[in-house]
A and B are shown apart, each in its own frame.
Chain A
Amino acid sequence: MTAKIYTRLDANSAAAAKGFSDLSIRNLFIIPTIAFLIIFNVFPLLYSLGYSFTDFRASTNAPANFVGLRNYRELLTDPFIWRNFTITAKYVIISVTGQVIVGFGLAMLLNREFPLKGLVTTLLLLPMMLSMAVVGLFWKLLYDPSFGIINYFLGLGKFEWLADPNVALYAIALTDIWMWSPFVMLLSLAGLSAVPKHLYEAAEIDRASSLYTFFRITLPLVAPILMIAIIFRTMEAFKTFDLAYILSSQPNAELIAIRLYKMAFLEWQTGMSSAFAYIVLIMVVAITNIYVKYLNKVKER
């Protein structure tokens, strides 16, 4: 029967005479979406690829001059841009590591039965559903050196979280960890609850130490899902804009996305920023590829 449904993809079949054929329904359902995405995602990117070889500035009426690969050459040899990349790498490592430790830790704690478990889990997930920009805004209130509650409860006096150039990046990462640890927790919890109980029972009979059980049973079985969480968070942390832009304007905390925004929309170096966007794009596509590979791997299990 299934085979028959598939063979009806033939536009001249008997079924096609009655209403739309399967072939035309398939096209009717799929093509608009593909077309929409091409028009509003691919076409703009091609458009800016063109601009990336020019010295165009959207703020003036001066025509764009073709400059070849000059933008790319300048960007790749600009020490300031490399600094943005270093800062971003540092940010990604701190924030994703923090999220994995806190998130996985929470998942280990939650992976047992207790009253109101569902409610507690949902409440823990709340931060990641909120708007990054607005979260950044109210963390500004919490971080305030004179009346912020963080300094008060930690007894840090007038500690400058956001204005100190050496601290700002860590403060942004801390907020990101608060916001996104629940995401790692959610995925880890799914991995943990999928570990067959009999493995633990067997380990207990063998009197395996809890450390051994963790490294030999729990971790390997949760690893694929945890990996998805890590890659996804890495990609998102790499793109971070909202949170960092709202929280701090410290040059030491200037992530790539912020540099790109300033170059494009405050300095109006349209051509140069288009080239920069392409460099960033290539990196994101690379991470996306790895991500999808893992996604399919987990799906097939």
Chain B
Amino acid sequence: MAAVTTTRQAPVLPPPSGRAGFGGTLRSEFTKIRSVRSTYWTLLVLLAVSIGIGAAICAGTAANWDQTSAADRATFDATQVSIAGLFYLGQLVIVVFGAIVLTAEYSTGMIRTSLTAMPRRVTVYAAKALVFAVVALVVTLVAAFVAFFLGQALLASTHANASLSEHDVLRAVIGSALYVTLCGLFAFAAGAIFRHTAATITSIIGLLFVIPILAHLLPSSWYNDIARWLPDSAGGAITATVAPQDSHLFSPWGQFTVFAVYTAILLIVGGILFRRRDA
């Protein structure tokens, strides 16, 4: 460090090949997400929780199958049970992951360096969201399929296990990954609004977990009226394959669309604020 370095002229840069835009920013955001340890830890926890919890529930169910009543056996949803770890607990992990994608840039100050390199903010925002969504979807799909196959193998002795060729099963498995990814994007957008990790995670957990619990405390006639508009109803609806469809809900994809629209609105609000506010 003591040496006084003078500038040696670095080899000349080739002339610019065009305008800095979405492609380069996309590569940049992928470099960012793959170059911090928190990404690997978070995704590892996501896989462990999703697969581990699903396997534990399936193993427990198989062990107690003899004592299970005929009524319970009739409504037993082998698919939903095997991926429950993903869409209940995995969604918590993805909310944290989605939130920190943007809020970590604010807490470290990196956002100012990022926006100096690439001042077109909508481009940065969109690239960040897309890279996060792709990474989250790939990992949640892996988690969903591994959890499903492992769970069905553990349930084999009950002969109640499901297979992908059965009605709605593939929709439930893929849908769980899509739903959890959407939860992550929901948190990402909230991160753009709050720009603070703790505030973002707290508010999203409130929206996705606490409000539904409170809603259940309402008189059931009220609850039935609002259930289809709750953000988390999508998770239960999209993963169900056996239980009779709750008549107060939309179809699985309809329910999923409700949540997708909420997420889209939040993403747009987050994008507008990201574009307009001082960094």
The answer to whether A and B assemble together is no
